[in-house]
A = this chain, B = another copy of it.
């Protein structure tokens, strides 16, 4: 087998629509990847069977299971301690699914599960911008807001495996309603793709006299991507949307810093593509809200992992020994 390498890991990222997986070497190179549907197999056993059918040939191709250090899985509501997916609202499998043990039994390989945001943090620590950093926080800014917190080189799990739900912390008392959770003023209701959209609609409504490129779109058409595109064209309201979003993000990051005093905060995901439009107001607000002893110490950076690969990389990072 010309493809044989010393060791490799399998990374599986289970999303609401698609499950992606790949063979990853120790340096974080994805040697091969593929995907299956997350919605087509209502019976979890059929889903595992399909994964097995697709992944087994890959394992054989790279030298067989004796060369595979294990299978890492990132999934919404994945619990590291129990290896179960628990009541994930965006997956078709309801209740508590013992995913890690099902995969482990089927493949005969060590399998580690965690939630997708923790997997992202594991990826940053093993392959990304947080390599060698012992204390950091990863914030994933996509449809929702996820977080993975690393303390002294280890994932913070808490007593039940559910630590790091920073997207649901309250940043504005009696603030914006989060339709999913019913909370008022949680981070996720502002600093997410849908939060940015809602802010844009509110700002357009409040400044009816101000012209804006955003007015060329219907409210259904406006997305965080559209707001970004208008902002880089210099649109005043669109720029203000990112300034507001960054200010809220910066304030909440200051709170997180005063909790765990990380050396670095890594921003990842769709919204992170806004670059300086988001980074500048975020950093400014964070530094302003920090106690002096924390100021100008925290490296606030964007992830350097390619967005399309990061989820597989992160999942695979779970199984490498330190």
Which A residues lie at the B interface, using CB under 8 A?
A: 86-87, 134-135, 149, 151-152, 154, 156-166, 168-173, 181, 183, 251, 254-256, 258-263, 289, 291, 293-294, 297
Contact = CB atoms under 8 A, between A and B. Distances in A.
A262 B183 contact: no
28 contacts: A86-B293, A156-B260, A158-B260, A158-B261, A158-B262, A159-B261, A159-B262, A160-B263, A160-B297, A162-B294, A163-B259, A163-B261, A164-B261, A165-B259, A165-B261, A165-B293, A166-B258, A168-B258, A169-B254, A170-B251, A170-B254, A170-B289, A172-B173, A181-B291, A183-B289, A255-B255, A256-B259, A259-B260
Chain A contact residues: helix, strand, loop or mixed: loop
Q: Count copies of this chain in the complex.
A: 2
Contacts of A154: 152
A162 B259 contact: no
Contact of A134 (B159, B258, B262): B159
B261 A166 contact: no
A161 to B, nearest CB: 8
A221 to B, nearest CB: 31
Given A149-B260, A170-B289, A183-B289, 4 more contacts: A152-B154, A159-B263, A161-B261, A169-B259
A162 B256 contact: no
A38 to B, nearest CB: 21
Contact of A171 (B165, B166, B173): B173
Contacts of A134: 159
A154 B156 CA distance: 12
Nearest to A134: B159
A44 B69 CA distance: 56
A260 B181 contact: no
A183 B156 CA distance: 28
Contacts of A293: 86-87, 162, 165
A256 B151 CA distance: 15
Contacts of A86: 293
Contacts of A135: 158-159
A165 B297 CA distance: 15
A154 B164 CA distance: 18
B163 A156 contact: no
In the complex, the 5 A-B pairs of residues with the closest C-beta atoms, listed nearest first: A158-B261, A163-B261, A159-B263, A135-B159, A169-B255
B291 A157 contact: no
A31 to B, nearest CB: 34
A168 B297 CA distance: 17
Contact of A170 (B152, B160, B166, B255): B255
Contacts of A256: 259
A260 B168 CA distance: 13
A313 B154 CA distance: 29
